[in-house]
Structure 1
Amino acid sequence: MKKSILVLILCCLVCIGYVYLCFKPIIIHKPYVQYKFLADSLYNPIDKIDFTLGKNKIIIYTSVQDVTFLPDNIKKWTILECRNNKTIERVKNNFVFERINNNIAETTDFNSRIFFFKNNELVFSDKFMVERSIFLHFKNTGWVLATNYNELIGCFSEFRPVYFPIIK
């Protein structure tokens, strides 16, 4: 009797831990570089990376508080992943951002991130926000705005939820 109660309690703790990690996943990666916006107006930070060959993936982590703000055609989950090289290449081609305004000092912080992996190695990661617009955060400019919102949302709608809460 005591063993069955102990097993039941242990199973409940494992389930609670899994549910908690689904909302607060552990993302393991090497320290990311704080990228700078390198153009006067339009800039694609991953333009030089070839995602047509190899094992590539994009992971979008959206904090629990921000999942509700995702557009309707993107799955409402904390971790979304894409491993399809054609879709990743489409994201790359449309991953163009522009400065909002040089005179605005943006102080809003956001916990969501996007990760680009080329052959299982992290090649780009930055703070990321998806709502009615798509924003990236750069060290020298703050938040910048995506110019190809509809194309990116179409690509992001193909991403699949990741139910294993530890990402490497």
Structure 2
Amino acid sequence: MIRQSRYLEHIIDMANNKYRNTGVADVRKIPTPVKILNNTGNRITGHLEKATWVDYSGVYKGKAIIFDAKETGITNLPLDSIHTHQYELLKSWHRKGAIAFLIVYFKLHDKYYLLPFETLREAWETRENGGRKSIAWETFENECIEVKSKDGYTLHYLDALEV
């Protein structure tokens, strides 16, 4: 099962608050747009509009940073869990010099990884050419950067960019 985790978002948000408060970076969660259909007193009804962005964007060391958070309960990351609009946005920003990546949480291993855009691109293109439809656990172990709690950060993902 693949889904975006509120837990993962929560610990990323905590790290982002500390990054902001210490002046390290300014990275913010981008809310999913909601179209309000009716507003009667204290009751609002609406529906989620089609998402057109990824979960987070901001600036770090003078560079744009953009990423999405994914969680998996299996031993790989199915590429179907990444929407085409998310991939295209990451690709566009990456081509323009931004730091683009995914943060992926493997529940079975209780490990977090930073998946650089280039590794995602290779897997995406392989799938588009009829190959593997997921990114294997071994790819994360061998080609990605494990992200850990460190220096008071719940998930010090910016430290992983310095490796």
On whether the aligned pair clears a TM of 0.5, the verdict is: no
Larger Rg: 1
Structure with greater contact order relative to length (CA < 8 Å, sep ≥ 6): 1
Q: Name whichever structure is richer in helix by fraction.
A: 2
Q: Name whichever structure is richer in strand by fraction.
A: 2
